Amino acid sequence: MRTSVLTVLLNVFGIAYGSKVFEANPDTKRLYDDLLSNYNRLIRPVINNTETLTVWLGLKLSQLIEMNLKNQVMTTNVWVEQKWFDYKLQWDPQEYGGVDMLYVPSENIWLPDIVLYNNADGNYEVTLMTKATLKYTGEVSWKPPAIYKSSCEINVEYFPFDEQSCIMKFGSWTYNGAQVDLKHMKQEPGSNLVAIGIDLTDFYLSVEWDILEVPAARNEEYYPCCEEPYSDITFNITMRRKTLFYTVNLIIPCVGITFLTVLVFYLPSDSGEKISFHT
């Protein structure tokens, strides 16, 4: 009897819950179908082909995984934050039950082909194709995670009291500056420099390095292949090695051994302690 009552209650709850989900989804489904039914993700989303599309770029550093001194490679775990406007993805929320935001698979919409120029391992793409966030105004936001290996010129002349400065240079692989213009998320009008160019709010502290500065700069460069300039955002990570580990495990033992070696010469030559101490 109890089992039958419980079954009936579960069925009633399931029907009620399912009806609510069904009632909540039609507007979103209709919006999704209307936006992407005739959408071509291969075409740059501009009304006029001569129009420049602005893409705002930001970087969120999650972890400094490794600094490979031998191969001159820095490995980082980052989120590549991108934002742009797509006029084909605008809608009136009143026509879709008040829905003002939509999450869609990023593979179904146009994406800027932003890559890391100074990549060291040949993997130029992001790690995971996460969903993109669409706003009714046409604003598209995409924040995929990625693990990058970037080439970095490392100088260990003052090891272990050294500071290193590594860059991560991002830009469009296909579009020139007249087609896709890159700007930093926090870039002020009239300035190409950003003092704090990397978000460190969720940075996992490194046991070997302290992050000192993370500026960013927007640049325009001309390449032999093309007449048009190509814009890029270059992030600079300046770091200092934590010396406590090397001081305790390397410097102090070496100084101690050197001191004891010199002390041997102050003992009498025929002293047995000198022989045993030296050995």
> pLDDT value at position 224?
83
Dist. CA 127–CA 146, nearest whole Å: 5
Q: What pLDDT score was predicted for residue 170?
A: 95
Quote the CA–CA distance of 96 and 272 in Å, as a whole number.
96
What pLDDT score was predicted for residue 279? 54
> Do residues 221 and 232 lie in contact, with contact meaning Cβ atoms separated by under 8 Å?
yes
Amino acid, res. 2 = R
Model confidence over 170-200: pLDDT tens digits? 999 889 999 999 999 999 988 999 999 999 9
Bond into 224 cis (ω within 30): no
126-139 pLDDT per residue, tens: 667 889 999 999 99
CA 219 to the chain's CA centroid: 19
As a whole number of angstroms, the distance between CA 227 and CA 167 comes to 26
Closest alpha carbon to 69 in 172, 152, 192, 185 = 152
Q: Give the tens place of pLDDT for each residue, 90-101.
A: 999 999 999 999
Query: pLDDT below 70 — which residues of the chain?
Result: 1-24, 122-127, 244-252, 256, 259-260, 263-279
251 DSSP 8-state letter:
I
Q: Which two tokens stand for residue 91?
A: 């809608």
**What pLDDT, in 10s, does the model give residues 49-69?**
999 999 999 999 999 999 998
| Helix and strand numbers, DSSP H then E, in the chain | 5, 14
State residue 265's pLDDT score: 66
Q: Is 163 helix (H, G, I), strand (E, B) or coil?
A: strand
